A and B are shown apart, each in its own frame.
Chain A
């Protein structure tokens, strides 16, 4: 069985996640071997997924962590966690 490019596109995400059934994977694989366009689409998608996962994409503001913990220190003292209540002795 042979599948067309546009059907292959529907499987690219599953192909990258290795979540296709063995039969479908085989079909897609065979298509990719001879289709340079679908191969380029797969490679670019994979590349973009890798770049997206890189921590450098999202920069933390300078001082973010310090401000967060300072605020927590202020508020953690005043309120108990969850249902914990200060019990008066």
Chain B
């Protein structure tokens, strides 16, 4: 997930937490604070609920830590706990029609991308602009849950196909199909908007 996590001996940290050094849990989770929040936000769609879900997920992971088995990575395990917490919360507060009911609206149908004749690259610096961040976030949040989960893990968290499959307990083949559809939906939604928000002369000034 993060480069900074690769040198850490998480198995050893977990063992010492379970042996009673509970304060080490603070260090164990530090690299994942952002990922857990992102996952929560894309489901809850407001900051307060997302923060709540994130805190609960970290606490649940702590309480269930002895269930963690080393065959998955801690990050993968933590993300699936977060996902369950967010889903459960949505189910309970279900004042709006259950979101999961519309979760496979276009499964099987053919998806067409937004057709363009040319594409001028939108540089990452464009994300300094609030409106660009907002349209990206909105596009992610508007995906139906099955596609959003896969896109978040694969393209936001940059999990591998296999790690994504493990976190969601689906097959690698299903990950690929959903990822493809999610990316096409994002392209269809975002390409016209980003193109419009990308006036040529400004990029020349910036580059």
Q: A residues within 8 Å of B by Cβ? A: 6, 9-10, 12-14, 16-17, 19, 36-37, 39-41, 43-45, 47-61, 64-65, 67-69, 71-73, 75-77, 79-84
Contact between chains at A84 and B19 (CB < 8 Å): yes
Q: Chain B: interface residue count, which band?
A: 35 or more
Q: Is B47 an interface residue (CB 8 A)?
A: yes
A47 CB contacts on chain B under 8 angstroms:
119, 121-122, 194
Number of A-B residue pairs having CB atoms within 8 Å of each other in the complex: 164
> Please, which residue of chain B has its CB at the minimum distance from the CB of A65?
B33
Closest residue of B by beta carbon distance from A52: B155
Q: What distance in Å separates the Cβ of B135 from its nearest Cβ neighbour in chain A?
A: 10
Closest 6 CB pairs of A and B: A82-B66, A13-B180, A40-B116, A43-B119, A56-B127, A82-B65
Closest CB-CB distance, A87 to chain B, in whole Å?
10
Q: Does B22 contact A (CB under 8 A)?
A: yes
Q: Contact at A80–B117, with CB atoms within 8 Å?
A: no
B38: chain A residues within 8 A (beta carbon): 58
B59 touches A71 (CB 8 A): yes
CB distance from A9 to the nearest CB of B (A): 6
Choose from A19, A44, A81 the contact partner of B63 (Cβ within 8 Å): A81
Main secondary structure of the interface of A (DSSP, over half): helix
- Give the distance to chain B from A82, nearest Cβ to Cβ, in Å: 3
Interface presence of B169 (CB below 8 A): no
Of the 9-residue stretches B86-94, B95-103, B183-191, which lies at the interface with chain A? B183-191
**Distance of A40 from chain B, by nearest CB (Å):** 4
Cβ-based interface call for B205 (8 A): no
Q: Is the Cβ of A13 less than 8 Å from the Cβ of B22?
A: no
B183 touches A76 (CB 8 A): no
Instruction: Say whether A44 contacts B18, CB under 8 Å.
Output: no
